[in-house]
RNA sequence: GUGAGUGUAGCUCAACUGGCAGAGCAUCUGACUGUGGCUCAGAGGGUCGCGGGUUCAACCCCCGUCACUCACCCCA
């Protein structure tokens, strides 16, 4: 019986795993400078946590969740995103009693039951950051700037930071009716999907990629023109903040969020040709979510980077693997045991040491050492055992030095 | 959920559109009784995704099925 990983769920093998380590390290270092602390959240939660926050009619909830009943007949779900869990933990542990704002980050797998595609998987990984406890737009600017910093430090460029505001409880409904009024008389020009969207969620017609729809919606009202005073001031505050920090951005008034809890600021980092999966990170403000989860009316903002979407963009994708400092070639059982012990001692001293395990010709052992890229090789055979000295060969310059069977001597010899 | 494409060695791909399943790379061995890379020689490795059908004969044609890939919807 041959097993395969499940559809859309993949192994991350070396050397690519080193690219992942680099992404995680760079993110952690950057988060630290901005005062974000790691929070480790469960990957499984009660189903209702997601249906309530993400929205009953969102695509994620309607068709993309890994939901099942546990043995206690409770409906549970593998998390499709991180914000809901974070806010749950924030409220559950009364973290609003800590000084505001509270800044958190998380790194981990998310699950969505979708048809896999380039840059889209059923298990994928997000690097997310969330701030709770302030609605100051300078925080919006700061978090966008932090996202920018992480991507830059990873050597990624050629991306756009798109921002917009999607309004709040007061102004969004007004805009929705205005938009419907504007679209109503030319519905025939739009595609089938847009006609469906017109009833369900008219805002989505603004995001349609069908060329005829792009043409047809020209001149439609844009949400940023309908923002209430508060939202408008907030949006300007964000733009001002980004300008102060010299973060280039573009305003995309057609941006739409797939999750219901977003308010005001929404942003997206896009890269590459227009089409699918150009978003490598996305985020926004969710000022009503904490209260929705039974906490005080505390605002929040966050983003998530799609790890799978930046891996291919990282220039160091072809990271050269590090190589062992020393490889022991052995001939005979006694030599093998001797190097077994020396190998262990040298590792204690901090070296990366490999040895030959199976009996094979010296030639093939040398070949193996070479394939591993070993910097030095020690040959231990009958002659060496007789003399009590072995030779270390530097694989690069081919020099050989005689050493005693002593971890200290060997260490000294190869650190020259 | 919808549509299209592709499944042959560990990897990348051939096989005259029906006639004995191949190459390159990789692996292992040898040339060189105990010294790697280069070169040369050889070896191992296949239920041609799976099941059925047509045929004297199927990797090739037909039907079904599964998997993978890409795209749509949507999203990180």
Assigned domain for A181 exists: no
Spacing of A365 CA from B41 C1' in Å = 21
Q: What is the mean pLDDT of residues A4-17?
A: 88
A354 touches strand B (CB under 7 A): no
Contact call for residues A110 and A309 (beta carbons, < 8 A): no
Q: Which domain holds residue A395?
A: 326-414
A156 touches strand B (CB under 7 A): no
| Number of structural domains chain A divides into | 2
With CA of A280 and C1' of each nucleotide, the nearest comes out as B76
A281 touches strand B (CB under 7 A): yes
Asked whether residue A163 falls in the same domain as residue A290, the answer is yes
Question: Taking the CA of residue A275 as centre, how many other CA atoms within 13 Å lie in the half-sphere pointing to its CB?
Answer: 5
Last residue of a domain, one of A259, A293, A317: A317
Q: What is the mean pLDDT of residues A12-30?
A: 92
Tens digits of per-residue pLDDT, A92-135? 999 999 999 999 999 999 999 999 998 999 999 999 999 999 99
pLDDT band at A73 (very low <50, low <70, confident <90, very high): very high
Assigned domain for A212 exists: no
Can you tell me which residue has its alpha carbon closest to the C1' of nucleotide B69? A117
A62 touches strand B (CB under 7 A): no
Task: Say which residues have a Cβ less than 8 Å from residue A116's Cβ, sequence separation at least 6.
Answer: A7, A8, A122
Asked whether residue A111 falls in the same domain as residue A165, the answer is yes
A232 touches strand B (CB under 7 A): no
A266 touches strand B (CB under 7 A): no
Q: What is the mean pLDDT of residues A251-272?
A: 86
Task: Say which residues have a Cβ less than 8 Å from residue A313's Cβ, sequence separation at least 6.
Answer: A154, A156, A271, A280
A60 touches strand B (CB under 7 A): yes
Asked whether residue A301 falls in the same domain as residue A349, the answer is no
A197 touches strand B (CB under 7 A): yes
ipTM of the complex: 0.87
A77 φ, ψ (degrees, to nearest 5): -140, 135
Question: Which sign, positive or negative, has the C-alpha torsion A161, A80, A41, A20?
Answer: negative
The yes-or-no verdict on residue A358 having pLDDT over 90 is no
Asked whether residue A331 falls in the same domain as residue A389, the answer is yes
Tens digits of per-residue pLDDT, A300-310? 999 999 999 99
Asked whether residue A134 falls in the same domain as residue A236, the answer is yes
A58 touches strand B (CB under 7 A): yes
- The Cα–Cα gap between A166 and A183 comes to 19
Spacing of A402 CA from B38 C1' in Å = 28
The yes-or-no verdict on residue A416 having pLDDT over 80 is no
A321 touches strand B (CB under 7 A): no
Last residue of a domain, one of A265, A294, A317: A317
Tens digits of per-residue pLDDT, A217-226? 777 788 888 8
Residue of A39, A249, A235, A237 whose CA lies nearest to A144: A249
Asked whether residue A26 falls in the same domain as residue A154, the answer is yes
Asked whether residue A260 falls in the same domain as residue A119, the answer is yes
Spacing of A180 CA from B55 C1' in Å = 64
A206 touches strand B (CB under 7 A): no
Assigned domain for A60 exists: yes
- The pLDDT value recorded for residue A276 is 58
- The Cα–Cα gap between A282 and A290 comes to 20
Asked whether residue A55 falls in the same domain as residue A104, the answer is yes
With CA of A201 and C1' of each nucleotide, the nearest comes out as B74
Assigned domain for A2 exists: no
Task: Say which residues have a Cβ less than 8 Å from residue A351's Cβ, sequence separation at least 6.
Answer: A325, A326, A411, A414
Spacing of A277 CA from B39 C1' in Å = 48
A371 touches strand B (CB under 7 A): yes
CATH code, domain with A158: 3.30.930.10
A324 touches strand B (CB under 7 A): no
A367 touches strand B (CB under 7 A): yes
Give percent of chain A with pLDDT exceeding 90.
Answer: 60
pLDDT band at A319 (very low <50, low <70, confident <90, very high): low
- The pLDDT value recorded for residue A183 is 80
Asked whether residue A297 falls in the same domain as residue A402, the answer is no
CATH code, domain with A362: 3.40.50.800
A260: tokens are 């219901």
- The Cα–Cα gap between A264 and A166 comes to 5
Spacing of A173 CA from B39 C1' in Å = 77
Contact call for residues A279 and A268 (beta carbons, < 8 A): yes
pLDDT band at A246 (very low <50, low <70, confident <90, very high): very high
Last residue of a domain, one of A265, A296, A317: A317
- The pLDDT value recorded for residue A316 is 59
DSSP A194: H
The yes-or-no verdict on residue A318 having pLDDT over 60 is no
A103 touches strand B (CB under 7 A): no
Assigned domain for A136 exists: yes
- A414-to-A54, A278, A328, A406 alpha-carbon distances in Å: 58, 49, 13, 12
- The pLDDT value recorded for residue A36 is 98
Q: What is the mean pLDDT of residues A183-203?
A: 76
The yes-or-no verdict on residue A70 having pLDDT over 90 is yes
Assigned domain for A410 exists: yes
With CA of A329 and C1' of each nucleotide, the nearest comes out as B35
A338 touches strand B (CB under 7 A): no
Asked whether residue A59 falls in the same domain as residue A126, the answer is yes
Give percent of chain A with pLDDT exceeding 70.
Answer: 96
Tens digits of per-residue pLDDT, A171-186? 888 888 888 888 887 8
Locate all alpha helices (DSSP H) within A245-332, ordered by sequence. 289-292, 307-310
A160 touches strand B (CB under 7 A): no
Asked whether residue A298 falls in the same domain as residue A403, the answer is no
Assigned domain for A7 exists: no
- The pLDDT value recorded for residue A191 is 75
Q: What is the mean pLDDT of residues A180-199?
A: 77
Q: What is the mean pLDDT of residues A310-338?
A: 83
Assigned domain for A199 exists: no
A21 touches strand B (CB under 7 A): no
Tell which strand B nucleotides have any atom below 7 Å from a protein Cβ: 1-3, 27-30, 32-37, 67-76
- The Cα–Cα gap between A261 and A124 comes to 22
With CA of A363 and C1' of each nucleotide, the nearest comes out as B35
Spacing of A331 CA from B42 C1' in Å = 26
Asked whether residue A36 falls in the same domain as residue A160, the answer is yes
Strand partners, A76: A46, A68
CA dihedral A194, A200, A205, A211 (to 10 degrees): -20
Contact call for residues A414 and A376 (beta carbons, < 8 A): yes
């Amino acid at each position: 019986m041959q097993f395969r990983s499940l559809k859309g769920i993949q192994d991350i093998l070396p050397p690519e795993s080193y690219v992942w380590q680099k992404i995680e390290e760079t993110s952690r270092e950057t988060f630290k400078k901005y005062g974000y602390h790691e929070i480790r959240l469960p990957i499984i939660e009660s189903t209702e946590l997601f249906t309530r926050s993400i929205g009953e009619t969102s695509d994620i909830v309607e068709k993309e969740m890994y939901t099942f009943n546990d043995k206690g007949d409770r409906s549970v779900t593998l998390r499709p995103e991180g914000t809901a869990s974070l806010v749950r933990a924030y409220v559950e542990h009364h973290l609003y009693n800590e000084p505001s704002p509270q800044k958190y980050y998380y790194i981990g797998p998310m699950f969505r039951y979708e048809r896999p595609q380039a840059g889209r998987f059923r298990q994928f990984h997000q690097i997310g950051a969330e701030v709770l406890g302030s609605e100051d737009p300078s925080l919006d600017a700061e978090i966008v700037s932090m996202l920018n910093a992480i991507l830059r430090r990873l050597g990624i460029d050629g991306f756009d930071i798109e921002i917009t505001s999607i309004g709040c409880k007061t102004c969004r409904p007004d805009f929705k009716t205005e938009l419907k009024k504007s679209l109503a008389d030319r519905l025939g020009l739009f595609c089938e999907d847009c006609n469906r969207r017109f009833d369900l969620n008219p805002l989505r017609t603004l995001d349609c990629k069908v060329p005829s729809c792009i043409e047809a919606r020209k001149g439609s009202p844009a949400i940023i023109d309908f923002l209430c005073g508060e939202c408008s001031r907030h949006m300007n505050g964000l733009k001002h903040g980004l300008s102060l920090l010299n973060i280039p951005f573009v305003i995309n008034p057609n941006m739409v969020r797939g999750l219901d809890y977003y308010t005001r600021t929404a942003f997206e980092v896009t890269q590459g040709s227009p089409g699918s999966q150009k978003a490598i990170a996305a985020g926004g403000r969710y000022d009503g979510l904490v209260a929705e989860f039974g906490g005080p009316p505390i605002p929040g903002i966050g983003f998530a980077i799609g790890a799978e979407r930046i891996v291919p963009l990282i220039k160091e994708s072809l990271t050269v693997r590090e190589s062992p400092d020393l490889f022991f070639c052995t001939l005979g059982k006694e030599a093998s045991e001797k190097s077994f012990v020396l190998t262990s001692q040298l590792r204690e001293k901090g070296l990366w040491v490999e040895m030959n395990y199976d009996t094979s010709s010296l030639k093939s052992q040398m070949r193996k050492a070479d394939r591993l890229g070993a910097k030095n090789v020690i040959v231990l055979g009958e002659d060496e055992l007789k003399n009590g000295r072995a030779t270390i060969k530097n694989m690069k310059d081919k020099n050989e030095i005689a050493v005693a069977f002593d971890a200290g001597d060997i260490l000294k010899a190869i650190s020259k």
